[in-house]
Structure 1
Amino acid sequence: MAVSLRRKREAPRGRYTPNLWPVWIVAPVALIAAGALGWVIYHYAYDHFAQSAADQEPPKPVNINDPLKATVTALTLIGAVLAGLYAYRKQLLAEGDAHRADASQLADRYTTAAEQLGHDQAAVRLAGVYALARLADDWAEQRQVCIDVLCAYLRMPYEPDPTAPEHKAGEQEVRQTIIRVIRDHLQEPDVPTAWCEYNFDFTGAVFDGGSFSTSHFRGIVTFAGAEFSGGTVDFAGAEFSGGTVVFHGARFSGGTVTFDGAEFSGGTVDFHGARFSDGTVSFDSAKFSGGTVDFFGAEFSGGTVDFPGATFSGTSFDWGPVPVPAGA
């Protein structure tokens, strides 16, 4: 018997069902405890009333109803407290069940959205993008994970040329939708569903268009090794504050990448080893205040990189052994 009870009490932690003693054990123990407590209270009350009666002139006998009333009152108060504790415990258990149900539902939504993103049909992948974005809004604890999945999709191999054998129909629309969803969540930093404080990893991603304009980036944003091969990638009016923006080894081989009116305040902007071979990269009227901008080892073999109207205050620039672009 003792071994069986001990095994029940040593049940693995993390189980959902409360590990309680059997009723046939708890009930007798509770009755014995209540009786013992009532006996102690009664004798304490009797001694108190007996002492009070003896101190009177002339001494009076103890009214037996007085200690009985005091005992019943004390036991009732204790019972009320225990009942309140029991109700509180039930509430905690109910809230725990609700929390686990919510977590299970959110996990199911995550699984479904991830499966949709891997579907062969572009329309289903689009549904997965929106489903994952809604899940990120509802699931703050795992919001970074949802963001990481969207970024990972953009990092997957992508052939933008529609005539190439590897090109997938509708893939550009899916990728543009991901960029648009991310941008929409970076517009208002103070709303509860904003993603501004989170990290974004676009390492090695291929961009042939998309807008991050007027976005607020406050975490680590990585475009290391990314390829900007066509279209327009728009960072106009974006704010990069305090975090790290990495374009280390990025390749600008076509199209236009504009940082017009963008603000870089604090942190580090790293174009170390970036290659500018075609297209246009514009920092027109961009503002650099504080922090470090690193172009060390960058290669300028074609295209245009210019800084007309850009302002610099308290910013450390490292151009390395390369010619300084126009306007810098």
Structure 2
Amino acid sequence: MTDGVERVRHRLPVLKWWWVAAAAATAILLTGGTIWLLLVVLGKQASTEQAKAQLDAIRTALTVGVGTGGAFALWVAARRQRSTEIQLHESARAAVAVELDSRERRLTDLYVQAVEQIGSDKAPVRLGGLYALERLARDDIGRRAVVINVLCSYLRMPYLVPEQLKNGRYRLPAASDVRQHEEWQVRITVQHLLAGLLRDQPYDLDLRGATLIEFDLRECAIGKALFQDAQFISTPKFMDATFHDEVWFFDTSFDIVARMEGATFLDRAIFTRCVFYELRLQNATFAGGAYFTQSMFAGKADLSQATFKSGIEFEDCVLDMDRYAAAGMREHGWESPEIELTGAVADVPSLGTPVKLPSGWQLQGSSIVRAATLEPKPSGATVNETPHRR
């Protein structure tokens, strides 16, 4: 549409033949009329120099005619110059369009080739395709969201977790298991590239059902994040990250420590039916509400100094170390299950929904403080602590 308007603005009217004829006739009439008028006026004068005066009159009339023709010639030259400028402009515009089209074709070819490489059964080829996609996302910001979706899709692919990575042991797959070792390297690379693309502006993440190994999004900007049914192997790091939209940790498992210190949640943060061992959310900000409904805590959940600006819900949560007691985790210094809210504050006027705090905590003014008794209160001390089985 813009090109069409620009083309109309620069179009000149066609120089037709009768315009030239009219201009020539005008020049002739002006010249002849001037000669006739001067001869008539001078013919009435009785002077011995009449012939000389008539000659001067003819010379003046011819000068007028030549001047009129010169003006017409100047106008034609101006039109020719303007026409040349328009042609140059159109040529430049066409060259830019060709260059953009060529660049678009190159980027499209790069994208197609990279996606084909990712589908290879050879790890080095997959890595090459991943780095090509990352380069594409940086060169063409319009395709960055598409590239991020492709990277998330790769992480959602089924992955058989090696025994070396289970239950917090986190050791590199054995070199003898070449395919597992290579796939581990590829998945780590995908996560690294994904984090690099989330430094400047937020993009949505769809990682439902993904297996994430040492997932690291520290100081990243994230849009809507979906982690339903995801499995975090080793320690995921979300320190100082900013979630600009809803984040869903729904039926998500963390096999060791989940680190989210200083994270900012600008919309709802859903931690429903999650399984945590140790959760670190110190100094976090929940602008859209924090919901830990039916989650299980096998260790300490530290939300000290957190700020709640909307709903707070710890309903039907379970504190239970049984899952780790058999492995002797207590003997290795792991703390008993508890939810820590020391120094946490709530923006009471904007909460909007009833506050459901863990057992042993209550809202006093804008501060969340320990209650005088650990007995649950009818109003909302809803966390259930399951006794340890021997």
| TM-score range relative to shorter protein | 0.7 to 0.9
Distance 1:55 1:292 in 2: 97
Report if aligned partners of 2:234, 2:257 keep a CA contact under 8 Å in 1.
yes
Q: Name 2:295's counterpart in structure 1.
A: 299
Q: 1:261 aligns to what? A: 262
Structure 1 residue runs of 4 or more that deviate by more than 4 Å after TM superposition: 43-61, 162-165
Q: In 1, are the aligned partners of 2:295 and 2:318 still within 8 Å (CA)? A: no
Residues 48-73 of structure 1, C-alpha deviations (whole Å, 9 max, x = no match): 77788899895956423222212211
- Is 1:183 equivalent to 2:186 in the alignment? no
User: 1:314: how far off?
Assistant: 2.1
Tell me the TM-score normalised to structure 1 length. 0.75
**Contact 1:136–1:142 (8 Å) recurs in 2:** yes
Report the equivalent of 1:37: 19
Which one of the candidate residues 226, 234, 237 is aligned to 2:237?
234
Secondary structure in structure 2 of the residue aligned to 1:326: strand
Percent sequence identity over aligned pairs? 22
Secondary structure (helix, strand or coil) at the match of 1:281 reads: strand
Matched, 1:312 2:307: yes
**Residue 225 of structure 2: SS of its match in structure 1?**
strand
Does residue 148 of structure 1 match 2:149? yes
Distance 2:312 2:189 in 1: 35
Residue number in structure 1 paired with 2:106: 105
Match of 2:317 among 310, 318, 322: 322
Written as runs of structure 1 = structure 2, the 5 A alignment for 1:16-55 is 33-43=15-25
Name the counterpart of 2:368. none
- Quote the Cα distance in structure 2 between the aligned partners of 1:153 and 1:253: 20
Question: Are the counterparts in 1 of residues 290 and 310 from structure 2 also a CA contact under 8 Å?
Answer: yes
Q: What are the equivalent positions in structure 2 for 1:53-68 lying under 5 Å apart?
A: 62-63=61-62, 64-68=65-69
Aligned ranges for residues 132-147 of structure 1 at < 5 Å?
132-147=133-148
Q: Which of 185, 197, 200 is 2:202 aligned to?
A: 197
The 3 A distance-change label for structure 1 pair 292 and 75 is same
Letter aligned with residue 135 of structure 2: R
Match status 1:92 vs 2:88:
no
Q: How far apart in 1 are the matches of 2:116 and 2:247?
A: 31
Unpaired segments ≥5 residues, structure 1:
1-29, 190-195
Question: Which residue number in structure 2 is paired with residue 208 of structure 1?
Answer: 213
Q: CA 1:132 to 1:54, structure 2 compared with 1: closer, same or farther past 3 Å?
A: farther
Q: Which runs of 5+ in 2 are unaligned?
A: 1-13, 43-56, 165-172, 320-337, 342-390
Map of 2:170 onto structure 1: none
Shift of 1:286: 3.0
Equivalent-residue separation in structure 2 for 1:233 and 1:222 (angstroms): 15
When residues 73 and 295 of structure 1 are mapped into structure 2, their CA distance, relative to the original with a 3 A threshold, is same
Say if 1:227 and 1:250, in contact at 8 Å, map to a contact too.
no
Structure 1 residue matching 2:317: 3-state secondary structure? coil
**Letter of the structure 1 residue corresponding to residue 158 of structure 2:** P
Partner SS, residue 199 of structure 1: strand
Letter in 2 for 1:327: E
Between the aligned partners of 1:137 and 1:38, the Cα distance in structure 2 is: 58
With over 3 angstroms needed to count, the CA separation of the structure-2 counterparts of 1:293 and 1:40, relative to structure 1, is farther
SS at match of 1:95: helix
2:248 to 240, 246, 249: 246
> How many aligned positions are there?
280
* 1:68 maps to amino acid: G
Q: Distance in 2 between matches of 1:307 and 1:46?
A: 100
> Residue 183 of structure 2 aligns to which amino acid in structure 1?
E
When the two chains are superposed, the root-mean-square deviation of aligned CA atoms in Å is: 3.1
Deviation at 1:177, TM superposition (A): 1.0
User: 1:289, 1:275 → 2: CA distance?
Assistant: 18
Do residues 288 (structure 1) and 272 (structure 2) align? no
Q: Which has the larger radius of gyration?
A: 2
Cα deviation, residue 103, structure 1: 0.5
Quote the Cα distance in structure 1 between the aligned partners of 2:25 and 2:202. 65
The 1:44–1:162 alpha-carbon spacing in structure 2 relative to 1, beyond 3 Å, is farther
CA distance in 2, matches of 1:200, 1:326: 28
Provide the secondary structure at the position in 1 that maps to 2:77. Answer: helix
